Amino acid sequence: MSKGRLFAVSGPSGVGKGTIVEKLLPLCPGLELSVSATTRQPRVGEKNGVHYFFITCEEFNKMIEEDGFLEYDVHFKNFYGTPKKFVFDRLNEGKDILLEIDVNGALKVKENCPQAVLIFIMPPSVEELRYRLLHRNTEALEKIEERIARLDKEVLLKDKYDYTVVNDDLDTAVAAVLKIVKGE
Ligand code: 5GP
């Protein structure tokens, strides 16, 4: 058993999990955000080792062969994975680690780490999330349609999670996640 606790905040794309995590971290000084590895190019302002570990496809494949990921997946033709060593080193040091991760990734983490605490962030309604995705205007229509297509399936997976939090009001949702983390 590791000394720290592993948490995963997950939910459908556009549900606001990134914003919840951003607000949660300053309220939980002992909680550290995991840094994933990816083969995608850094965006302007992104730093290696802070936002992601930016690695090549060869390096990613080598890590897969060496069983170096707690889970990994492909999004929009790029690979993303949670490095086992990064997470386990910190858990063994007694640090608590938070993953902000997609729905399938979180379930794979639970398979590999049954003691992980999974928190599912729900939209107030699926219709509301569809509306948000269509109106946030940050992505190509093709990507939005891909995300909407995944939505119904993802919401059905919420029963496999330890906790569900509805993100209707942001501060209320942050307070609910904080209560779960402190309780655990
Ligand atoms: P972006 O390229 O916009 O930073 O992320 C694209 C997608 O990859 C997002 O849905 C994000 O949640 C997902 N992602 C980021 N890191 C990981 C990871 O370690 N594992 C998995 N499965 N997905 C990830």
- Model confidence, pTM: 0.88
The 10s digit of each residue's pLDDT in 61-78 is 999 999 999 999 998 899
Q: Work out the average pLDDT over 126-153.
A: 76
Ligand 1 pocket test: which of 82, 101, 118, 136 has the largest number of ligand atoms within 8 Å of its C-beta? 101
**Residue 170 CB partners (closer than 8 Å, separation 6+):** 16, 19, 20, 23
CA–CA gap between residue 129 and residue 147 (Å, rounded): 10
Q: Which of 166, 131, 171, 132 is nearest to 22 (CA)?
A: 171
**DSSP 8-state class, residue 166:** E
Quick one: which atom of ligand 1 is closest to the CA of 104?
22
Contact yes or no for 90/97 (Cβ under 8 A): yes
| Averaged pLDDT score across all residues of the chain | 91
Can you give the pLDDT at residue 179? 97
Name the residue with higher pLDDT: 128 or 80. Answer: 80
Q: Which protein residues are within 6 Å of ligand 1, measured from CB?
A: 13, 36, 40, 71, 73, 75, 80-82, 101-102, 105
Residue 42 has pLDDT above 90, yes or no: yes
